[in-house]
Structure 1
Amino acid sequence: MTDIAHVSQSRNLWLKFALPSILGAVVFLAPIPNGASFTIPFGILIDWVNDNFGTLVSALLIAVTVISAAATIAFSVFRLGPQSGFLAETFRVSPAWLVLRTLGAAFCLLYFTGTGPAFVTADSTGGTVVGFLMKNLLALFFFAAIALPLLTDYGFMEFVGAFMSRIFKRLFRLPGRAAIDGLASWLGAAPVGVMLTVQQYDMGVYNRREAATVATTFSIVSVPFCYVIAKVVGLQDIFFSYYASVVFIGFVCALILPRIPPLSRLPETFAHGRASEETDVILPGETAFQAGIRMGLARADAAPGPTGFLKNGVRNLIGIWFGLVPATLAVAMIALILAEYTPLFTWLSMPFVPVLEWFNVAEAQAAAPALVIGFADMYLPALIGAEIASQETRFLIAILSVSQLIYMSEVGALLLRANLGLNLGHLAMLFVIRTIIATPIAIFLAKVVIF
């Protein structure tokens, strides 16, 4: 009986590892024919929701932003509600987040009711952010919150990470464990990768230089977010070519950045005076496949069952919808208003215009602001570039939206709060270096390979 129970338990564990991982890989990574090109099932789901339930999504967006603002004011200003727990973590925030969520609700109401000033209700501002981007993000966050754990929580990430661990050691001067952290970002979300990296630093797995390198080099925008960027600039029909270009440029940046300042000059000290506790991903006598299976099964064993999966998905969805959506809306609106109605980003981008013209980039004057505005938020370059006629130029902007990686609305703020020795100057320098590396490669790919 004991042997039978052991076999049954082992079979159940293998199923718990394999089924969610395969389903997640299909949803987010499987190519699906779409006319003359390909897309992914995740993108089809988003398009289906927006095409068939547009009015419902608009009403839901209003409800999310208004409820978020009201609850944040109640928790943060009037100190109502529980003092700890999930709701407190979501709605008891700093004054800056309080202002952003309130502004997000105000912008949303002013746009949908048509009572706001022209700089809010115009197609180039409110129509782009509220009427298009945020509606897409609302659907994206819903499916991502539910489905992304299939990739990140049931062993797929560990299995693939085992095969990449030796590459990370040899090419990127990083412990093999960093491969799994990198996949947590690429397949999940950049903030997840940053938080995971900080935890590993606190545990002594990384020293300060290694942790800062992982957090600033591999915390790239995830697959579903890349799809939305591609859709914003009208490149969803070549999504796989676009994403392959993103991966290639990310690889090149990862080769260069750890070997030059500011990352190369960070001290190789460990948190709290700890000694290194690094253990190799692949144990002595193991193959990469065996290590991947071992870690994948261990991860699946610790993962929740169906009820816990749904519960965690709902919690993630609430946290993202009510915590992130209104603030993202506010930041994007403010930046687009500044871009449309002030010369601020035109002035800041002036040094880039002759560079783009030298590379024969079409509509260089219109594209240049996209090279600098991404430091505020990753969606902004795509929003600025959406109206540009040249497909090659929109491709460049979509690449930069993702490849610049350091954006202050989320990842940058997390990096500054973490004790990794990074300051605002470091982040600005990394943003500029990534832009310098990514721009000529993206232009070459657009002109010679993609189109």
Structure 2
Amino acid sequence: MNEPDKNPADSRITTKSLLRFLLPSLFGILIFLVPITDADGNFNILLGVITEFFIDLFADFLPTVITLVIIVSTVLSVITYFFKPNFITSSRMLNSLFNTNLLWLIVRVIGMVVILMTYFQTGIEAVYSDVTGGTMLGLLTTLIMWFLVASFLMPYLINFGIMEFTGTLLRKLIKPLFTLPGRSAIDLLASWIGNVNVGVVLTREQYGRGFYTGREAVAIATNFSAVSLPFCLVIARMLEVDHVFPLLYLTIVITGIICAIIIPRIPPISRIPDTFAVENHYTETVPENKSVFKWALEQGVDRAAKSGSFKQQLKQGYEVFVDISFVLIPQVMAIGTIALIIAEFTPVFNIISQPMVYVLEFLRIPEAEAAAPATITGFIDMFIPAVLATGIEAEITRFFIAALSLVQIIYLTEMATLIIISKMPANFWTLLLIFIERTIIAMPIIAIIAHIIY
């Protein structure tokens, strides 16, 4: 007679298997999720502290590294497009890095031209100036170190069972609230506390392995990849509202949660098919004969047992980092610089932001004319709204712009481009529409809270 309580996973929960699940998972949580106070007294996480150490250590060399990465990526992409050399097309990794279509090839060529002008400070000044190409080069020197450190440490957060364990425990909360699997809770925490781009890479990796459907991946990347607490503090200081930072951050949290509840339920995200990129038999459904905690523990231990060797973790980290470096960086340089040129040297955003003047006036936000461009330029980069709003006198308006820019989160200079070039089913127009939805939903919520505070 069969005994229904028996499960093959039960035999694997030994002291050794439990430690294989617990120790790496706790290490991953410590690196990505535990807030600490750094040497300057600012909030940070260990991932941020390690990254900033390497940024300071290699600061003099990073612009040269970025320039070389973009040149190598572009040259090999051009060679591959026109000549299809066997050493690239026969290699899975090299083929994925350099075998691209004509559109992205053109973007990479633009990125190479821009980086050469910026690095050597020559050519068209609008391209290499401090507010365009110079800004992007500075951003990428920081970004490449974030990705270097995160790529090699991320396996400890995704390969050793903590996402399976947490997903099973939190499924009944996360699923009805956000229409997402419970394991996305780790995405939420890693992004919210740490770095928005790390959250997107984490989601991309999970989608590529069949843990999320296309709809779930886009919903998580565009709603759960929140701006980190340290960056929020930087924006608050720029706009001189840091003396009310706890209230500002509470506003961001409230607004972000409301957006994450609504946006996955409406188009365009609701119309993205719930299909997996690859087949995966992982499930968060608890068998009738199991307690939730026991099943969660079995799922975590089972995943840790399949995590592979230390060498395999290093290989995975290396592949993620190389993919991001040679694919993302040239395209971010091109798209980001073009977007900043439009924002800085043309009246485009002043013109298209005119309808926002009436919306801000309806919401009784002072200096609506001056604030209007800052409500839409967040699609280009998170810093631009803060830069545009620094001259505004009304503190309530600076508070409003600070909160709005930090809730919009979809910006072309980094995060949106990373999503576009990933295999997640979201293109430029999808992300633009989600950005508009986040803006429309967020504005009245932030305005109400701002009027209560001020």
TM-score, length basis structure 2: 0.78
Mind listing any 5+ residue stretches in structure 1 that lack a counterpart? 1-5
Partner SS state of residue 288, structure 2 = coil
- Aligned partner of 2:129: which letter? A
**Residue of structure 1 equivalent to 2:221:** 219
- Aligned partner of 1:135: which letter? T
Pick aligned residue for 1:150 from 131, 152, 156? 156
Partner SS state of residue 55, structure 1 = coil
Aligned pairs (5 A) from 1:265-344: 266=271, 280-344=284-348
What is the Cα-based RMSD across aligned positions, in Å? 3.9
The answer to whether structure 1 residue 43 and structure 2 residue 48 are counterparts is: yes
**Residue of structure 1 equivalent to 2:132:** 125
Aligned pairs (5 A) from 1:11-90: 11-34=15-38, 35=40, 37-80=42-85, 81-84=87-90, 85-90=92-97
**Residue of structure 2 equivalent to 1:402:** 409
Q: 1:262 to 1:65 in 2, by over 3 A?
A: closer
User: 2:355 and 2:54 mapped to 1: Cα distance?
Assistant: 42
- Aligned partner of 1:165: which letter? R
Deviations 1:55-106 (A, max 9, x none): 1111211111111111211222222233231101111111111112222222
- Aligned partner of 2:203: which letter? G
Choose 21-30 or 37-46, whichever is displaced more. Answer: 37-46
**Residue of structure 1 equivalent to 2:7:** none
Q: 1:28 to 1:442 in 2, by over 3 A?
A: farther
User: 2:160 and 2:35 mapped to 1: Cα distance?
Assistant: 22
**Residue of structure 2 equivalent to 1:101:** 108
Choose 216-225 or 21-30, whichever is displaced more. Answer: 216-225
Pick aligned residue for 1:166 from 167, 172, 183? 172
**Residue of structure 2 equivalent to 1:381:** 382
Q: 1:328 to 1:364 in 2, by over 3 A?
A: farther
**Contact map agreement 2:408 2:438 (CA 8 A) in 1:** no
**Contact map agreement 1:396 1:442 (CA 8 A) in 2:** yes
Deviations 1:96-132 (A, max 9, x none): 11112222222112112111321022221122211x2
Partner SS state of residue 39, structure 1 = strand
Q: 1:435 to 1:215 in 2, by over 3 A?
A: farther
**Residue of structure 2 equivalent to 1:189:** 199
Q: Identity of counterpart residues, as a percentage? A: 27
**Residue of structure 1 equivalent to 2:442:** 438
User: 1:52 and 1:124 mapped to 2: Cα distance?
Assistant: 25
C-alpha deviation, 1:53, in angstroms: 2.2
Mind listing any 5+ residue stretches in structure 2 that lack a counterpart? 1-9, 191-197, 393-397
C-alpha deviation, 1:355, in angstroms: 2.5
User: 2:117 and 2:427 mapped to 1: Cα distance?
Assistant: 37
Partner SS state of residue 317, structure 1 = helix
TM-score, length basis structure 1: 0.78
User: 2:21 and 2:151 mapped to 1: Cα distance?
Assistant: 19
